[in-house]
């Protein structure tokens, strides 16, 4: 199986202390590293809370997927991580759901976590069919 490690221009770069690729293509699948609500221009979390971060995350994911030659429509699995599950689930779910066609939602796991890198409120990773 061919494996390709992708770093995509326009997506937030990995911090110097973190060793990862934006995505890894393995066979017929693309495994996309969890994205935070980081503005690629400032390399900092966007201001505001979970809703604003979720919107930026979806833009970052679209950038990575476009750079890999695919799109959100090919997503087969998503994992969402929320620091404040009870308060943020409804708004993050609304932002996330709006990015997919009704009835064509990927399989998904959403979990509450105690902390995320950079003090983020939300992180989302994907598995995408190529």
**pLDDT digits (tens), the chain, 130 positions:** 899 999 999 999 988 888 999 999 999 999 999 999 999 999 999 999 999 999 999 999 999 999 999 999 999 999 999 999 999 999 999 999 999 999 999 999 999 999 999 999 999 999 999 9
Residue ranges of domains in the chain, CATH in brackets: 3-129 (3.30.1330.40)
Enumerate the β-bridge partners of residue 35.
124
* 43, containing H or E segment: none
Q: Is the pTM of this model over 0.85?
A: yes
Rounded Cα gap, residues 69 and 100, in angstroms: 18
- What tokens appear for 101 in the block? 């066609």
């Amino acid at each position: 199986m061919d494996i390709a490690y992708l770093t995509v221009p326009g997506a937030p770069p990995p911090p110097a202390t973190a060793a990862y690729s934006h995505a890894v293509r393995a066979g017929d699948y693309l495994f996309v590293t969890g994205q935070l609500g980081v503005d690629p221009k400032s390399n900092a979390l966007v201001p505001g809370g979970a809703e604003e971060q979720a919107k930026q995350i979806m833009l970052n994911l679209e950038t990575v997927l476009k750079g890999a030659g695919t799109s959100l429509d090919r997503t087969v699995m998503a994992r969402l991580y929320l620091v404040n599950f009870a308060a943020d689930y409804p708004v993050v779910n609304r932002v996330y759901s709006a990015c997919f066609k009704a009835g064509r939602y990927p399989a998904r796991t959403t979990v509450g976590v105690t902390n995320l890198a950079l003090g983020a409120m939300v992180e989302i990773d994907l598995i995408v069919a190529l």
